[in-house]
Amino acid sequence: MIGYPLGHSLSPAIHQAALKALGLVGEYRLYPIEPSSQGSRELDALLEQVRTGQIQGLNVTIPHKRTVLPLLDGLSPAAAAIGAANTLYLKAGRLVGENTDAAGFWADLSRQFQGRSFGSARVAVLGAGGSARAVVYALLEQGCRVTVLARRVSQAEELAAQFPAHHSHLTAGNLADFGLIASAWDLIVNTTPLGMSPHPAGSPWPQLVPFPPGTLVYDLVYNPRQTRLVQRAWEAGLPAVTGLGMLVEQAAIAFELWTGRQAPRREMLESVYG
């Protein structure tokens, strides 16, 4: 994995568990690369190692998910639409960028809330950063009606403009608009870092605004294991989960691209759930 910083990444444990479960010899390494001229040279060198087969593949995280795009030979439809790649692999001799976050999010959402139909669901996505783009893409592809709520409306509007083919199903709004945020939603997805350790008391949902009845809550934050947003949703009697399962699902998809083997999801989940 390339990114910066990488000190608390769970990805090595997840992928090592997968390799062990399948009896494959290999190692998942972290390559902390700063966004600098020296970092650019290190990044070029690592990409060349993938092209020559010295490295089977790479994960990409902040701050390189977008800057790596011009260095690749091609992009998957998802990576092109989202404008970011988190997984690199060789395909017919070409270095391809994929975004497994969108598929990983949808797979875990479907698993966590089995029996719930999301076709044409009304979804509020909190935040308009890189993670939000992947989530919005996944939701729109499934026919959901999405409203992106951000503290800076211009950022939400910019995200919405990236998906012109879905303009009738995608709107933007202000996260501080309590009237809008308290509307009737089938699903609320937090893509902001609010509530993440070391500041677990934070929450993107206003303290004085009640959750809409019957809403499902999905928080991409997974550290701590029970975020304040999830706790508040539980207190309101609502089903709510963190994004730890999404982390595993996106890793499983990447693992399958690199190895051609079906990922052992049970063992990968156990490596982080304990």
Catalytic residues: 65
Q: Tell me whether residue 262 is exposed, middle or buried, using C-beta atoms within 10 angstroms of its C-beta: 0 to 12, 13 to 18, 19 or more.
A: exposed
3-class secondary-structure state, position 61: coil
- Going by DSSP bridges, is the β-strand pair 240-242/94-98 parallel, antiparallel, or unpaired? unpaired
Strands (E), the chain: 2-3, 31-32, 57-59, 74-75, 87-91, 94-98, 122-126, 145-150, 170-174, 187-190, 216-219, 240-242
3-class secondary-structure state, position 223: coil
Which residue type, as a one-letter code, is found at position 155? Q
The edge-to-edge listing of strands for the beta sheet with 240-242 is 170-174, 145-150, 122-126, 187-190, 216-219, 240-242
Compute the residue count for the chain: 274
Q: Tokens 């909190």: give the residue.
A: 126
Which pair of tokens denotes residue 89? 């692999």
